[in-house]
Amino acid sequence: MQIERTDLPVDPQDRAMVDGLLAAARSGNAYRVQGDAQAMRAATERLLAMPFVSGPDPSVGVTPGAIGGIAGEWLTPPEVTSEAALIFLHGGGYVRGTLALGRSNATELAARTGARVFAPSYRQGPEDPFPAAYEDVLALCRALADRPETYALVGESAGGGLVVAAAMGLRDEGARLPAAVSGISPFLDLTMAGESWITNEMNDMATREMGEDMIALYMQGQDRLDWRASPLHGDFRGLPPLQFALGSHEGLYSEALAAAEKAATAGVDVTFDVFEGMPHGFSKYRLAAAAEALARVSAFVRRGVERANG
């Protein structure tokens, strides 16, 4: 299969805002915090309070719920026009993520697709080390696979890696697969061996050092090459249509491109949307690129659901 790649130019206003975001990140008070989990989580809370971070769509209802014994929240658009169930997995490096961190993306996904979205509160390190997050996501996907409605998976950052790993696990079990899998800025290789972690070091919100701290808290000495943690190193054969949407300035750009190429070689339909000049986490910010990324993810999911429904 070929990769359907689209390179999207940067908006000048986005470029100016990203420069400001990078300056704030380098100050160490909003994003690039190393150390223990509590310090990282406090930094996430500070980040969410900043004016450049998008808030959730107020038209979308938020109610607590659970699937397969995994607690989370349902995001319901004002008009439900699709019977599909969508899953959205927040990021946060398996340590510092929260439902609030992913809520702006999750509510926008619900509003744009007309489908109900479930966002799970999956377990994270260091309290619940690998493979806890994977096991939670697989459990809820198993429950969805046993239900009649079509479903699709979307995740951002760590969540983007989890949705790919979950699809691999479901395939191995012979379960009904999601109609589409989309990773926004997906974290697909916890070895962080990709060249872009070096070449994009000065252009990204995330750094390799930051990633190492979070990975150590989650993996706790376990094998980072395990595909459940690093799906880049897994088997892509037989997976449903796959999309990656990411910035060209992300440290994880190389691993996402490698995963796209590996998936295409394995016969998977791959969509690869690259947003020029965008750093990690850009989909959460008040940027034209963020709106376009969510529009493309939503369109990809809708197409997958329509194909699955015949």
d(CA 122, CA 30): 23
- Choose the catalytic residue: 249, 280, 283, 298: 280
d(CA 301, CA 179): 8
Q: Catalytic: 108?
A: no
Looking at the predicted structure, is the pLDDT value of residue 29 above 90? no
The pLDDT, as a whole number, for residue 211 is 94
- Choose the catalytic residue: 250, 254, 283, 298: 250
For 92-121, what is the mean pLDDT? 98
* 232 DSSP 8-state letter: G
Give the residue among 175, 107, 117 at the shortest CA–CA distance from 141.
175
- Choose the catalytic residue: 54, 157, 182, 254: 157
Q: Catalytic: 248?
A: no
- Give the rounded percent of residues in the chain with a pLDDT score beyond 70: 98
Q: Are 156 and 102 in contact (CB under 8 A)?
A: yes
Q: Catalytic: 280?
A: yes
Q: What are phi and psi of 9, to 5 degrees?
A: -70, 155
User: Measured between alpha carbons, how far is residue 298 from residues 29, 110, 153, 211, 275 in Å?
Assistant: 32, 9, 11, 28, 16
**pTM score above 0.95:** yes
pLDDT digits (tens, 9 = 90+) for 261-300: 999 999 999 999 999 999 999 999 999 999 999 999 999 9
Confidence of residue 49 (pLDDT cuts 50, 70, 90): very high
User: Measured between alpha carbons, how far is residue 129 from residues 71, 135, 215 in Å?
Assistant: 18, 11, 10
Across all residues in the chain, what is the average pLDDT?
96
- Specify the range with the lowest mean pLDDT, choosing from 54-68, 160-174, 199-213: 199-213
**What is the architecture of the domain spanning 3-308?**
3-Layer(aba) Sandwich (3.40)
| Domain boundaries along the sequence of the chain | 3-308
